[in-house]
Structure 1
Amino acid sequence: MTKAGGVRTLPSEPAQARRFGRVRDAQATALLEDYVELIADLLADAGEARLVDIARRMGVAHPTAAKTINRLKRQGLAMSEPYRGIFLTEIGMQMAERARVRHRLVVRVLETLGVPTDVAEADAEGMEHYVSDVTGRAFMKFIDAYGQFGTIS
């Protein structure tokens, strides 16, 4: 918020607390979204999602990946069967799809702004978790208005 003359003022305490709370919520789910999105991709590509492959692709140690997979299971997002790898529940599949849609949307916005695709893909990995539905709809309107004309430079 700004006063006349461009001096910045703090938002009200409740408004600021809501903003920070939203960021904390997004941070808490970001890791889970990354894992379910990767599991869905591995299942679609290779027909299986093994813990060793998940750990490698996430760039983490095997025990770290196992801990997160157990968290996914506790939250009803994933399941596993002996000797068969990791699978997503219906809720996990829905979470993966929402994350994938937000990721693609952020990539498209960045590309429309003139960001190279490889950079847009990397930047979208973090940004996708913080895009609200309201912002997502605004992004879609932006892409509809400007995306058809190439990039804005």
Structure 2
Amino acid sequence: MRFARQREADRTATAEDYVELIADLLREEGEARAVELARRMGVSQATVTATVGRLQRDGLVETKPYRGLFLTDAGRAMAEAAKARHDLVVRFLIAVGLDAETAEQDAEGLEHHASEKALVAFARFVAKAETDRA
């Protein structure tokens, strides 16, 4: 069971990373292109093409000829949830004493593998730490 959960978390992590990056590119640059995904993710164009194809089949991404990649409503929801979870994990890591740069780096892996119970505990800890600091 534990290994199956890990494999599913890895698949979900990839989808979340892609939709989050697509959302960032759309917001920052007005477009998301496969070549830019490959560059930022540090993977080949072929890897991006295969992953985007899976995201399309899963109903998270749409492609438009000569216009790049777009998120569906489901893709936008996944991107927003992934960003919120990432931000929570960063805030938690900073609250327990990590510097901001390390917290950002470490959150990239932790955000996808923390259970809902852990995230609730992180949120509770962060809320108390931020209240105590104020």
TM-score with structure 2 setting the length: 0.94
Q: Output the CA distance in 2 between the equivalents of 1:132 and 1:103.
A: 13
Map residues 66-105 of structure 1 onto 2, 5 A cutoff.
Answer: 66-105=49-88
Match of 1:147 in 2: 130
SS at match of 1:79: strand
Q: Output the CA distance in 2 between the equivalents of 1:61 and 1:20.
A: 28
Deviation at 1:23, TM superposition (A): 2.0
SS at match of 1:48: coil
Aligned length: 133
**What amino acid does structure 1 have at the position aligned with 2:18?**
Y
Deviation at 1:64, TM superposition (A): 1.1
Q: Output the CA distance in 1 between the equivalents of 2:3 and 2:63.
A: 35
Runs of 4+ in 1 over 6 A off after TM superposition: none
SS at match of 1:76: coil
Match of 1:46 in 2: 29
Match of 1:117 in 2: 100
TM-score with structure 1 setting the length: 0.83
Q: Which has the higher helix share?
A: 2
Match of 2:47 in 1: 64
Q: Output the CA distance in 2 between the equivalents of 1:48 and 1:59.
A: 19
Q: Output the CA distance in 1 between the equivalents of 2:28 and 2:130.
A: 29
Q: Which segments of 5 or more consecutive residues in structure 2 lack a partner in the other structure?
A: none
1:91-142 CA-to-partner distances (Å, cap 9, x unmatched) read 0111111111110000000000110111100100111001222211111110
Structure with the bigger RCO (C-alpha within 8 Å, sep 6+) is: 2
Q: Which segments of 5 or more consecutive residues in structure 1 lack a partner in the other structure?
A: 1-16
Percent identity over paired residues: 51
Greater gyration radius: 1
